């Protein structure tokens, strides 16, 4: 009973907050609704027993991606009138994408209804028994059967990361203030940085 209640709670909140993401007038509110949506999706994952995926969802999407989203949206100065105009312009494209997604959903449901798909067992050899924990099962699959794909994904991410750094990194010109040598700063002692002067009255100091 508790599970059913929790399911309906999470499911309603996911759908409601997802609707609010596109209905909210303030973009910051939209991002906050999106975060609520992620969070409730994680709740659904816990309900189906995929606690590892749920935690990853929260750590990666809520903890990192959405924070950056929020950051960017808060910094932007958004012109609402312009945004409305963009909405009208993009409306046909949006409808097309929505229809494609709906069709895919229908296909998926149809295939599932026709039977033949056993959820949760990628193949016979890798059948996950209920006794192994989520993390152990996923780890054994990723580092066993799908090791090559996993490594390829890792290398692609690494390349993307290096690319992003190369594109955005601007080395400060030599000798500028941005080029700091922390070791040198820390090694500096008061004797080198300050001088004692005892000026005569009305004379001032030459530095």
Partner 1 sequence: MTAFFEGLGLPYEWAWGVATIAGILLIALPVMLAVAMVIYVDRKVLGAIMLRRGPNVVGPFGLLQSFADGLKVFLQETIIPSAANKGIFLLAPIITFTVALAAWAVIPFGDGVVLADINVGLLYILAISSLGVYGVVMSGWASNSKYPFFSAMRAAAQMISYEVSIGFILVCVVLWAGTFNMSGIVEAQRGHGLGFVNGFFFNPLLFPMFVVFFISALAETARAPFDLTEAESELVAGYQTEYSSMAFALFWLGEYANILLMCSLCTILFMGGWLPPIEWAPLYYVPGFIWFLLKTFFFFLLFSWIWATVPRYRYDQLMRLGWKVFLPMSLVFVAVISGYLMATGHFTDAPSLVDPATVTPDQIVEAVEAPTPAVSTAS
- Interatomic CA distance for residues 58 and 54, integer angstroms: 6
Q: Footprint of partner 1 on residues 86-125 (CB under 8 A)? A: 116-118, 121-125
Q: CB 21 → partner 1: shortest distance, Å?
A: 15
Q: CB 32 → partner 1: shortest distance, Å?
A: 7
Give the residue carrying structure tokens 């009138």.
81
Q: Find out whether 35 and 20 touch, Cβ atoms under 8 Å.
A: no
Residue 58 as a binder of partner 1 (CB under 8 A): the answer is yes
Instruction: Write the DSSP symbol of residue 126.
Output: T
Measured from the CB atom, the residue of 32 and 41 that comes closer to partner 1 is 32
Among 8, 80, 83, 132, binds partner 1 (CB under 8 A): 132
Measured from the CB atom, the residue of 16 and 29 that comes closer to partner 1 is 29
DSSP H stretches of helix in the chain = 2-23, 27-47, 51-56, 66-75, 80-114, 134-140, 147-168, 182-187, 190-193
Residue 51 as a binder of partner 1 (CB under 8 A): the answer is yes
Residue 70 as a binder of partner 1 (CB under 8 A): the answer is yes
Residue 30 as a binder of partner 1 (CB under 8 A): the answer is no
3-state secondary structure of 17: helix
Q: Which two tokens stand for residue 143?
A: 């580092």
- Residues listed for the chain: 207
- Interatomic CA distance for residues 142 and 150, integer angstroms: 6
Among 14, 32, 41, 44, binds partner 1 (CB under 8 A): 32
- Interatomic CA distance for residues 169 and 161, integer angstroms: 12
Q: Tell me the backbone φ, ψ of residue 85, rounded to 5 degrees.
A: -60, -45
Selection from 67, 66, 40, 64 nearest residue 54 by Cα: 40
Q: CB 11 → partner 1: shortest distance, Å?
A: 20
Q: CB 78 → partner 1: shortest distance, Å?
A: 13
Residue 136 as a binder of partner 1 (CB under 8 A): the answer is yes
- Site size for partner 1 (CB under 8 A): 48
Residue 156 as a binder of partner 1 (CB under 8 A): the answer is no
For binding to partner 1 (CB under 8 A), which residues are involved? Answer: 1-2, 26, 28-29, 32, 35, 51-52, 55-56, 58-59, 62-64, 67-68, 70-71, 74, 116-118, 121-126, 132-137, 139-141, 143-149, 180, 182
């Amino acid at each position: 009973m508790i599970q059913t209640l929790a399911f309906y709670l999470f499911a309603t909140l996911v759908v409601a907050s997802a609707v609010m993401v596109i209905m909210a007038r303030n973009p910051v509110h939209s991002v906050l609704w999106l975060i609520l949506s992620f969070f409730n999706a994680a709740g659904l994952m816990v309900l189906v027993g995929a606690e590892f995926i749920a935690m990853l969802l929260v750590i990666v999407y809520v903890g990192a991606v959405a924070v950056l989203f929020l950051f960017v949206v808060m910094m932007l100065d958004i012109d609402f009138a312009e945004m409305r105009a963009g909405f009208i312009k993009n409306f046909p494209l949006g409808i097309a994408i929505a229809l494609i997604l709906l069709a895919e959903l229908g296909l998926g449901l149809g295939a599932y209804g026709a039977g033949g798909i056993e959820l949760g067992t990628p193949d016979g050899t890798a059948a996950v028994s209920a006794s192994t924990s989520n993390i152990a099962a996923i780890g054994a699959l990723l580092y066993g059967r799908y090791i090559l794909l996993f490594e390829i994904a890792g290398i692609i991410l690494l390349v993307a990361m290096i690319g992003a750094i190369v594109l955005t990194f601007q080395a400060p010109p030599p000798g500028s203030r941005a080029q700091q040598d922390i070791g040198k700063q820390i090694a500096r002692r008061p004797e080198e940085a300050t001088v004692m002067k005892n000026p005569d009255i009305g004379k001032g100091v030459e530095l």
